[in-house]
Structures are given as C-alpha cells and as structure tokens.
A = this chain, B = another copy of it.
C-alpha cells in the first residue's frame, strides 16, 4: 500500500453506473519521512470516510475491489486506512494528534 495525502476531490456526473455514489478523492503520494508531496497524483475511491489533509494509505490493483464500498466495482485504487502514526527507525515522522 502507498502513503498519500488527501488533497482534493474529483467530480463526475457521467460515469459507469457501478460507481454511482462513490467518493473520488484526489491523493498526492508523500515521502513517509519528510511527509512532503511528490507531485504524483492518483484518484482513489474512499472506503473509510477520509477527509481533506489527512494522511492515508490506499490499495491498488484487484485488491481495490476488496472493501465493502468497492466490491464488484471497477476500482484500481481504494483508500483503506487513515493513518495515525508513521514510525521510522524508532522515531515518529508523523503523529496525527500532535
């Protein structure tokens, strides 16, 4: 899974019927140490109610269909976790509540 920050939303009124009602979030991949955005973006379906600015990780490929929200749907990227903490080499690089 890949770490990313929720930076926006993508709106579509004309889309495949199976994906009606799903939220499409714009994610920017981040460096897990500096937390800086990599200027590399992906549109991801939201299965956990992620909000703007939050750090999340998403799952790619066929496993993007393995959530309650995306089962049987044409998804290749689904947010499956809102991140509380990232620890590297014993130190926290990210702590949501700080």
User: Which of B1, B61, B93 has a CB less than 8 Å from the CB of A61?
Assistant: B61
Instruction: Give Cα A84 to B30, complex, Å.
Output: 26
Is A8 within 8 A of B63, CB to CB?
no
- Which residues from B are CB-within-8-Å of A3? 10, 41, 43
Q: Which residues of B contact A17 (CB under 8 A)?
A: 68
Interchain CA distance A23-B94 in the complex, whole Å: 17
Minimal beta-carbon separation of A25 from chain B (angstroms): 10
- How near does chain B come to A27, taking the closest CB pair, in angstroms? 10
Give chain B residues whose Cβ lies under 8 Å from the Cβ of A81. 10, 12, 14-16, 19, 24
Residues of B within 8 A of A32 (CB): 8, 10, 26, 41
